[in-house]
Structure 1
Amino acid sequence: MMQAWAGRGCLGRIARVGRTHVAKAGRALSEGAAVAFAVGAGVLVALVVPTGIAVPTAHVAAAVSLLARAQTVTGRVRLRLRLSVISVTTGGLHYALADQVGASRPLPAGDLQPLVRVPACAGIAVCLGAAVAALVMAAAENGTALIRLRRLLDGWLIAGSLFTVGWVLLLRRADRGGDVSASFLGLAHVVADILVFGLLVTLRFGLRHAERTATTVAALALAVLTTGDVLRVLRPGPDMWHAVPLTAACSVTGLILVAAAPWLPGGVSVVGFDQRMMPVIGVVAAFVPVVVCALAITAHTLTGGPLDTVMSGLAGSVLLALGVRQGVIHADHLRITHESAAREAHYRTLVDRTSDVITIVSLDGLLLYVSPAALSVFGYRPEDLVGARLPLYCHPDDLETLMQAVRTLRQEAESDTRGPALRVSFRVMAADGTWRHVESTISHHPEGMTFISRDVSERVAQQVQLEHLAFHDALTGLPNRALFTDRVSRALRKRTPGAEGPVVLFLDLDGFKAVNDSAGHAAGDALLRHTARRLQASVRAGDTVARLGGDEFAALLEREAGAHPSSAQDIAQRILTALTQPYPIGTKDVMVSASIGIAVAVPDITPDQLLHQADLAMYAAKAAGKGRIRMHHATPPHAHSGA
Structure 2
Amino acid sequence: MIQASAGRDRIGRTARLGRLRVTKAGQALSEGVLVAVAVVAGVVVAVVAPAGIAVPAAHGAAAVSLLVRARTVAGRVGLRLTLSAISVAAGGLHYVLVDQMGAARHAAGVFPPVVRVLACVGIAACLGGAVAAMVMAATENGTTLIRLRRLLDGWLIAGSLFTVGWVLLLHRADRGGDGSASFLGLGRVVADILVFGLLVALRFCLPHAQRTATTVAVLALAALAAGDVLRILPSEPGAWDGIPLAAAGSLVGLFLVAVAPWLPGGVSVVGFNQRMMPVIGVVAAFVPVVFCALAIAAHTVAGGPIDTVMSALAGSVLLALGVRQGVIHADHLRITHESVVREDHYRTLVDRTSDVITIVSPDERVLYVSPAALWVYGYRPEDLVGARLPLYTHPDDRETLMQAVQILRQDAESDIRGPGRRVSCRVQGADGSWRHVESTINHHPDGLIFISRDVSERVAQQVQLEHLAFHDALTDLPNRALFADRVAHALRKRTTDEAPPVVLFMDLDGFKEVNDSAGHAAGDTVLRHAARRLRASVRAGDTVARLGGDEFAALLEWEAGAPPSSAKEVAERILTALTQPYPIGTMKAEVSASIGMAVAVPGITSDQLLHQADLAMYAAKAAGKGRIRLHHAEPPHAHRGTPNG
> Offset at 1:151?
1.2
Deviates more, 1:174-183 or 1:297-306: 174-183
Aligned-residue offset at 1:35: 6.4
Q: Residue type of the partner of 2:86?
A: I
Distance 1:227 1:438 in 2: 66
Residue 559 of structure 2 aligns to a residue whose secondary structure is helix
**Corresponding residue for residue 53 of structure 1:** 53
SS at match of 1:525: helix
What is residue 94 of structure 1 aligned with on the other side?
94
Shift in Å, 1:579: 3.5
Shift, 1:551, TM fit = 3.3
Equivalent position SS for 1:555: strand
Aligned to 2:142: 143
SS of the residue corresponding to residue 59 of structure 2 reads: helix
Do the aligned partners of 1:361 and 1:448 also contact (CA within 8 Å) in 2? yes
> 8 Å contact 2:204–2:277 — kept in the other structure?
no
Please report how far the alpha carbon of residue 241 of structure 1 lies from its aligned counterpart in structure 2 after TM superposition. 4.9
Question: Are 1:161 and 1:290, in contact at CA under 8 Å, matched by a contact in 2?
Answer: yes
1:261 aligned onto 2:260: yes
Task: Give how far 1:321 is off.
Answer: 0.9
Cα deviation, residue 382, structure 1: 2.7
Deviates more, 1:295-304 or 1:606-615: 606-615
Deviates most, 34-43 or 557-566:
34-43
| Cα offsets for 1:75-101 (capped at 9, x unmatched) | 433332332232222223323333444
1:541 aligns with 2:537: no
Deviation at 1:37, TM superposition (A): 5.0
Q: Could you say if the C-alpha distance between residues 20 and 205 of structure 1 is closer, same or farther in structure 2, counting changes exceeding 3 Å?
A: farther
In structure 2, the CA distance between the partners of 1:226 and 1:628, relative to structure 1 (3 Å rule), is: closer
Structure-to-structure mapping, 1:151-550, within 5 angstroms:
151-169=150-168, 172-173=171-172, 180-241=179-240, 244-362=243-361, 365-497=364-496, 500-517=499-516, 519-550=518-549
- For 2:450, the aligned partner's letter is F
2:85 maps to 85
**% identity of equivalent residues:** 77
Report how far residue 637 of structure 1 moved.
Answer: 4.0
Residue 85 of structure 2 aligns to which amino acid in structure 1?
V
Moved more, 318-327 or 360-369: 360-369
- Partners of 2:330 and 2:411 in 1: CA distance: 40
**CA distance in structure 2 between the partners assigned to 1:492 and 1:234 by the alignment:** 101
Aligned 8 A contact 1:370 1:386 in 2: yes
- Given residue 203 of structure 1, which amino acid in structure 2 is its aligned partner? L
Q: Amino acid of the residue matched to residue 196 of structure 1?
A: V
SS at match of 2:65: helix
Structure 2 counterpart of 1:330, which letter? H
When residues 248 and 506 of structure 1 are mapped into structure 2, their CA distance, relative to the original with a 3 A threshold, is closer
* Deviation, structure 1 residue 503: 2.3
Task: Give 1:105 deviation, angstroms.
Answer: 7.2
Question: 1:283-338: per-residue Cα shift (whole Å, max 9, x none)?
Answer: 33332232222223222222223323222221111111111111222222222222
Amino acid at match of 1:397: D
Q: Report the alpha carbon displacement of residue 565 of structure 1 after superposing the two structures with TM.
A: 3.6
In structure 2, C-alpha distance between the alignment counterparts of 1:333 and 1:509, rounded to whole Å = 86
Whether the aligned pair in 2 keeps the contact of 1:597 and 1:614 (CA below 8 Å) is: yes
- Are residues 640 and 171 of structure 1, via their aligned partners in 2, closer, same or farther at CA, if it must alter by over 3 Å? closer
Distance 2:305 2:335 in 1: 45
1:129 is displaced (CA, Å) by: 0.7
1:331–1:510 distance in 2 versus 1, CA, 3 Å: same
3-state SS of 1:286 partner: helix
CA distance in 2, matches of 1:245, 1:470: 90
Q: Separation in 2 of the partners of 1:302 and 1:164?
A: 16
What is the distance in 1 between the residues matched to 2:626 and 2:107?
A: 142
Q: Deviations over 1:226-257 (max 9, x none)?
A: 22333333323454555554333333333333
Q: What CA distance in whole angstroms lies between the structure 2 residues aligned with 1:20 and 1:316?
A: 49
What is the CA–CA distance in structure 2 between the aligned matches of 1:601 and 1:63, rounded to whole Å? 91
Q: 1:387 to 1:25 in 2, by over 3 A?
A: farther
Q: Aligned partners of 1:235 and 1:119: how far apart in 2?
A: 25
- Rate the CA distance shift 1:130–1:558 in 2: closer, same or farther, 3 A: same
Give me the whole-angstrom Cα distance separating, in 2, the residues matched to 1:559 and 1:32. Answer: 77
**Number of aligned positions between the proteins:** 630
Name the aligned partner's letter for residue 79 of structure 2: L
For the aligned residue pairs, the C-alpha RMSD in angstroms reads 3.7
What is the match of residue 128 of structure 1? 127
Residue identity opposite 1:223 in structure 2: A
Aligned partner of residue 477 in structure 1, secondary structure: coil
Q: Would the aligned equivalents of 2:217 and 2:260 in 1 still touch at CA under 8 Å? A: yes
Q: 1:149 is aligned with what amino acid?
A: L
CA-CA distance at 1:396 after TM superposition: 2.7
Would the aligned equivalents of 1:34 and 1:257 in 2 still touch at CA under 8 Å?
no
Please list the CA deviations of residues 504-560 of structure 1 after superposition, one character each: whole Å capped at 9, or x if unmatched.
333333444454455554444333333322222222222222233333333222233
Q: What is the CA–CA distance in structure 1 between the aligned matches of 2:89 and 2:125, rounded to whole Å? A: 10
Distance (whole Å) between structure 1 residues aligned to residue 203 and residue 472 of structure 2: 76
For residue 176 of structure 1, report the CA deviation from its aligned partner: 8.5
Q: CA deviation at 1:40?
A: 4.7
Q: Tell me the distance in 1 between the aligned counterparts of 2:588 and 2:399.
A: 57
The range that moved more, 402-411 or 129-138, is: 402-411
Cα distance between partner residues in 1 of 2:572 and 2:277? 91
TM-score normalized with structure 2 length:
0.86
Query: For the structure 1 residues 630 and 335, does the alpha-carbon distance in structure 2 shift closer, same or farther, using more than 3 Å as the test?
Result: same
* Bigger Cα displacement from structure 2, 563-572 vs 314-323: 563-572
AA of the residue aligned to 1:114: P
Q: 1:494 to 1:264 in 2, by over 3 A?
A: closer
Question: Quick check: 1:138–1:270 contact (8 Å CA) kept in 2?
Answer: yes
2:3 match: none
Deviates more, 1:148-157 or 1:54-63: 54-63
- Aligned partner letter, 1:489: A
Instruction: Say if 1:168 and 1:296, in contact at 8 Å, map to a contact too.
Output: no
Question: Are 1:16 and 1:414, in contact at CA under 8 Å, matched by a contact in 2?
Answer: no
3-state DSSP class of the match of 1:473?
Answer: coil
AA matched with 2:393: C
Deviation at 1:428, TM superposition (A): 1.9
Could you say which residue in structure 1 is the equivalent of 2:116? 117
When structure 1 is superposed on structure 2, of 454-463 and 29-38 the one drifting more is: 29-38
Q: Which amino acid aligns with 2:246?
A: T
Report the counterpart of residue 557 of structure 2 in structure 1: 558
Residue 124 of structure 1 deviates from its aligned partner by 1.1
- Aligned pair in 2 of structure 1 residues 518, 328: CA closer, same or farther (>3 Å)? same
Is the aligned partner of 1:601 residue 2:579?
Answer: no
- The DSSP-based 3-state class of the residue aligned with 1:548 is strand
2: distance between equivalents of 1:342 and 1:383?
Answer: 25
1:31 deviates by 7.5
Q: Is 84-93 or 574-583 further displaced after alignment?
A: 574-583
- Aligned partner of residue 553 in structure 1, secondary structure: strand
Shift in Å, 1:493: 2.9
**Is residue 627 of structure 1 aligned with residue 620 of structure 2?**
no
Aligned-partner Cα distance in 2 for 1:80–1:494: 76
Structure 1, residues 139-186: CA drift from partner, whole Å, max 9, x if none? 222222222211111111112122223332356448989764443222
- Give ranges in structure 2 of 5+ residues lacking alignment: 1-5, 641-645
Determine the C-alpha separation between the residues in 1 that align with 2:47 and 2:515. Answer: 120
Structure 1's 193 and 25: CA in aligned 2 closer, same or farther, altered over 3 A?
A: farther
